[in-house]
Structure 1
Amino acid sequence: MDVNFRKIDIDAYDEDVISEGELYEADPRDPGQVLEDAKAKAAAVRSSLSKGDMAGALGTILDSPPFGANVEDAKNLTLQTVVTVLNSTKSADIPNVVKSLTPEAQDTLMKYLYKGMAMPGWGDVSGSVLLGWHEKLTDVAGTGCIVRAMTDHRLV
């Protein structure tokens, strides 16, 4: 009996294999530029938070988030900033903040909620805060927001 067939890499012969670069357009910005943009947004968010403008702070950080390869520092900084905004918002204010976001920002927020849920014990991520935001976001944006966040290949 010939068992060599088990050592063949079938994907090497499959024409339908999709590489990560074919799933979405790469971020046109340089990785250094992406990190600088993330730092500038973090400073703007801190300014908005000091003024009590939670909706403005969240809208600022969710606008054109970093995605793709080689921008892990910018992704982590953006996640930390999003978590800071989420933790700073009173639970009674969450529905109004979510309603003020654009549909694209709502989808991006859902991605960050799931990313935070996937990192237990990371920083000051609280599961109850993330689940509270998830509930309010789903109430406002519907379940389509969940589907769009799960199927978009641009990972935040």
Structure 2
Amino acid sequence: MDVSFRKIDIDQYDEDVLLESELCEPDPRDPAQVLNDAKQKAAAVRQSLARGDIAGALTTALEDAPYGPHVDEAKNLTLQTVVSILNSTKSTEIPNIVRALSPDAQDVLMKYLYKGMAMPGWGDVSGSVLLGWHEKLTEAAGTGCIVRAMTDRRLV
């Protein structure tokens, strides 16, 4: 049986197809600069965690999140940084930390929670940690945070 017809990209013949580059504006920074910024943020987060400033560390990690093509290494480094913060936080401290975040930072945190859940085997973080953060974030930010995280084309 001939199945070669399944390998044809029919979108190439469609004039109205949307490209990813048309859906959102790419990150204006150079990919090398984005990676350098992610490394600096990771170092700043480690210092904040050493001082016990979890809210400050999370705020630092969530600002200017890398997005767009060609910055996958920076995205993975930032995800690891956020996951390290999530793992090192006591469950009783989560509600206060989430309330201290700005609405934009809450939306970015929700994106990282979903990215962590999408990892095979959930990566370095246990499911209970991600779901606990998701619960507390949804209580503080409402379900609109979920909708904004899922509809935003800028993927972290």
Tell me the TM-score normalized by structure 1: 0.91
Q: Deviations over 1:44-65 (max 9, x none)?
A: 0001001111110000000010
Shift of 1:125: 1.4
**Cα pair distance change 1:34/1:92, threshold 3 Å:** same
User: What residue identity is the alignment partner of 1:133?
Assistant: W
Shift of 1:8: 8.3
For 1:49 and 1:104, locate their aligned partners in 2 and report how far apart those are by CA, in whole Å: 22
User: Do structure 1's residue 49 and structure 2's residue 49 form an aligned pair?
Assistant: yes
Q: Which residue of 2 aligns with 1:139?
A: 139
Q: Which residue of 1 aligns with 2:3?
A: none
Q: Which residue of 1 aligns with 2:129?
A: 129
Shift of 1:10: 5.2
Q: Which residue of 2 aligns with 1:35?
A: 35
For 1:41 and 1:61, locate their aligned partners in 2 and report how far apart those are by CA, in whole Å: 6
Shift of 1:120: 3.2
Q: Which residue of 2 aligns with 1:77?
A: 77
Shift of 1:13: 4.4
For 1:80 and 1:105, locate their aligned partners in 2 and report how far apart those are by CA, in whole Å: 17
User: What residue identity is the alignment partner of 1:52?
Assistant: G
For 1:39 and 1:9, locate their aligned partners in 2 and report how far apart those are by CA, in whole Å: 38
User: Do structure 1's residue 58 and structure 2's residue 63 form an aligned pair?
Assistant: no
| Local SS of the residue matching 1:121 | helix
User: Do structure 1's residue 152 and structure 2's residue 152 form an aligned pair?
Assistant: yes
| Structure 1 unaligned residues grouped into runs of 5+ | 1-5
**Cα pair distance change 1:9/1:30, threshold 3 Å:** closer
User: What residue identity is the alignment partner of 2:151?
Assistant: T
Of all paired residues, the percent bearing the same amino acid is 76
Shift of 1:114: 0.4
User: Do structure 1's residue 105 and structure 2's residue 98 form an aligned pair?
Assistant: no
Name which of structure 1's ranges 51-60 and 115-124 shifts more when overlaid on structure 2.
115-124
Shift of 1:15: 3.4
**Cα pair distance change 1:73/1:7, threshold 3 Å:** closer
User: What residue identity is the alignment partner of 1:20?
Assistant: E
Query: Which protein is bigger by CA-based radius of gyration?
Result: 1
Q: Deviations over 1:91-126 (max 9, x none)?
A: 000000000111110000000000000113354211
Structure 1 residue ranges (4+ consecutive) displaced by more than 2 angstroms after TM superposition: 6-16, 120-123
Q: Which residue of 2 aligns with 1:3?
A: none
Q: Is the 8 A contact 2:41 2:61 kept in 1?
A: yes
User: What residue identity is the alignment partner of 2:96?
Assistant: N
Tell me the TM-score normalized by structure 2: 0.91
For 1:57 and 1:17, locate their aligned partners in 2 and report how far apart those are by CA, in whole Å: 41
| Local SS of the residue matching 1:153 | coil
